[in-house]
Structure 1
Amino acid sequence: MDVLSDVIALMRTGSPRSARVEWRAPWGQRFPSVPGSAGFQVVLRGSSWLIPPDGDPIPLSVGDVVFFPRGHGYAMADSPSTPVAEPECDPLDDGLGLFASASIDGPTDGPVTVLLCGGYRLDQGRAHPVLIELPDMIHLPAGLGLQTELRAAVEALGAEIQRPRLGADTVVASLLDLLLLYILRAWFEGEHGQCSVGGWAQALADPGISAVLDAVHRDPAHPWTVQELGARAGLSRSAFSRRFGELIGRPPLAYITWWRLATATRLMRESAAPLAEIASAVGYTSEFAFANAFKREYGVAPGRYRREICPA
């Protein structure tokens, strides 16, 4: 798996949630802060205003995407002056189903706005630094060259939620994962990502460092050496170590160790494989060496972690 795919696989837990909502003006809705989550809003039709807790309201038009990597609260309304209603339930409540479609009329026959909204449960204990460096809010205006694949995912997701057909649960879940990946890709590949984010945006844009990260994420069990990684990056051993540390924030082998153990936690959550098998899958020659490294990183032995953090 590549870096962004791995970030999603590592952090996302449970099923994402989404809804297609038609609002008739005047309308206003508050979306509360949901720690341990990420959320998005996409304008499919009409226009609306994003009202952040701090700062000025932001006008949104068709095709605009707003993403909140850390679940910060905000409000949406047809006008900055419209009162906003408080939510009646947790937007990520598992009892609400994978997706929903609703039409909410205002007290008058005002213009209609259609929003596609959704959220993802994230495991904050396994936060990858690529997400930690993101700003609290990402706004991708449609007029600034919104990527074709992101627009296609938005349109497909909106259509699937509005008119569910056979296999809709699988289709919607897959499209939500695609949407999240496309949002991150659009941010990191765009000018705003390059200017606003620190080392990771530069690392993903650097051909040599990106190639190294890709190789490590695709094969964490390989016995990587700094010399081999430097050769992949097209740099000397010392130049590579210096460049990697500047962008990633830790030495190459330290990052590999961290990533192997983070991958191990995901494998323990997603499978019943024996610890010895998981240790081998992430590059440890013995379960004993794996257990020692895991305890240094997480403060508990892997067996205890599996029992307490990954209940059956």
Structure 2
Amino acid sequence: MDTLSRVVQMARLRGTVDIRCMVAGRHTLDNPEGGNGRSPFHLLLAGECTLELPDRRIALRAGDFVLLPRGTAHRVHTRGPDPDEPIERRDLGPYALLRGIRAEDTPVRGAAVDLFCGHYTWGPGAGQVLMGMLPDVLHVPLGTDAGGPLPLLGAFMRDEARTVGPGTEAVLDSLCDVLLTMALRSVSGVGRAAWLASTRGVVRTVTDAVVRDPAHDWGIEKFAALNSMSRATFIRHFGRETGMNAGEFLTRLRMLLAAELLTETEQPVAAVAAAVGYGSESAFGRAFRLAAGDTPARLRRAARQAVRGEGVSVLRLGPADGGEPSPG
């Protein structure tokens, strides 16, 4: 299984469409802070709008997907040639529809902006670790080319949203999951999320080896040997393909695997630490807290309480600032 498929499977994220906006005028949509375990997203299928964050503005065009892993409060400004107009809000069951109204109370046809707004939920575990590894804002242009995947997915989402029948919520939720996977695999360039999309031989070889035996004493020399490369050649290729050094990559994989063990098994924390290559429980705890924003014991406890429906909050994540030192 490739890196991205494995990570998405472990994370167990659940996507939901909250609102569909079909407006032709100029409007501002306020989005409060997402809250613990909730990461909002926007998919713009038509038109243009601006995402306003506390520290920046991002211009969005048709085909753009934006995910806010840490649930940052933000605004969406729609813009178009038409003046401001009243908006009708309708509750369609699975989601709410915001739609512009003409002066004569006729719904706008051919809306300039068609925007799906939703969120992904994740509980204590690998999903929490994955969101902590992503940048504060994940902005991915998926494109609108006829041969690309987004037009097909967008048409499916529009059709399902328009018909609203039995199973609509389940279908839209599943399409949101597909959307996130498409976005993660479309990440390009050097960045904190680029490693998820890499399908190059060097990254796949390292990933497969670590997933098979995370407790092994991995180092650059061993990774280089797996790829029949010199140390220098491996470092150059790996950095170019993932945007990070091998030590950081190794830590990320180990922490994802550790989160899965903590939430899906009854192994003691010390055993989980050993299973992912840490001889010291304290060293494992430090690395895990950097990746997950919580201690292994608290994350396990929160996961168990969440299963029991006790609504325990998960610590708000910050960016992953580091991990174990680079091997070798």
TM-score by length of 2: 0.64
Judge which range, 172-181 or 105-114, deviates more: 105-114
SS at match of 1:176: helix
Match of 2:177 in 1: 177
| Structure 2 counterparts to residues 125-204 of structure 1, below 5 A | 126-127=129-130, 131-132=134-135, 137-142=139-144, 145=145, 148-186=148-186, 188=187, 193-194=188-189, 197-198=190-191, 201=194
TM-score by length of 1: 0.67
Cα gap change, 1:294 to 1:169, in 2 (>3 Å): farther
- AA matched with 1:274: E
Cα gap change, 1:3 to 1:115, in 2 (>3 Å): same
How far apart are 1:178 and its partner, in Å? 0.8
Deviations 1:254-279 (CA, angstroms, capped at 9, x unpaired): 6424422332223433x3x2115994
Cα gap change, 1:217 to 1:99, in 2 (>3 Å): farther
Asked if structure 1 preserves the Cα contact closer than 8 Å seen for 2:42 and 2:66, the reply is: yes
Pairing partner for 1:231 from 225, 241, 257: 225
CA distance in 1, matches of 2:58, 2:85: 13
Q: Does 1:28 align with 2:27?
A: yes
Q: Does 1:306 align with 2:309?
A: no
| Structure 2 counterparts to residues 1-312 of structure 1, below 5 A | 1-9=1-9, 13=13, 15-19=14-18, 21=20, 23-26=22-25, 28-32=27-31, 34=33, 37-43=39-45, 47-50=47-50, 52=52, 58=59, 60-61=61-62, 64-70=63-69, 71=71, 73-79=74-80, 99-102=94-97, 104-108=99-103, 109=106, 110-113=108-111, 114-121=114-121, 126-127=129-130, 131-132=134-135, 137-142=139-144, 145=145, 148-186=148-186, 188=187, 193-194=188-189, 197-198=190-191, 201=194, 207-216=200-209, 218-219=211-212, 221=214, 223=216, 225-226=218-219, 227-241=221-235, 243-244=237-238, 247-252=242-247, 255-269=249-263, 271=264, 273-276=265-268, 279=271, 283-284=275-276, 289=279, 291-298=281-288, 302-308=296-302, 310-311=304-305, 312=308
SS at match of 2:42: strand
Asked if structure 2 preserves the Cα contact closer than 8 Å seen for 1:20 and 1:101, the reply is: yes
SS at match of 1:74: strand
How far apart are 1:297 and its partner, in Å? 2.0
Asked if structure 1 preserves the Cα contact closer than 8 Å seen for 2:157 and 2:172, the reply is: yes
CA distance in 1, matches of 2:225, 2:6: 23
CA RMSD across the alignment: 4.5
- Greater share of helix: 1
Asked if structure 2 preserves the Cα contact closer than 8 Å seen for 1:203 and 1:248, the reply is: no
How far apart are 1:127 and its partner, in Å? 4.4
- AA matched with 1:209: V
Judge which range, 291-300 or 120-129, deviates more: 120-129
Cα gap change, 1:204 to 1:28, in 2 (>3 Å): closer
How far apart are 1:177 and its partner, in Å? 1.0
Structure 2, unaligned runs of 5 or more: 309-328
Deviations 1:180-208 (CA, angstroms, capped at 9, x unpaired): 1112223x2xxxx33xx447648955734
How far apart are 1:100 and its partner, in Å? 1.4
Deviations 1:55-91 (CA, angstroms, capped at 9, x unpaired): 7885745xx23323445523242527856999x9xxx
Deviations 1:104-139 (CA, angstroms, capped at 9, x unpaired): 34252444424333222467962468632x855334
Asked if structure 2 preserves the Cα contact closer than 8 Å seen for 1:24 and 1:105, the reply is: yes
CA distance in 2, matches of 1:67, 1:98: 24
Aligned residue-pair number: 284
CA distance in 2, matches of 1:6, 1:167: 27
CA distance in 2, matches of 1:261, 1:51: 32
Structure 1, unaligned runs of 5 or more: 89-95
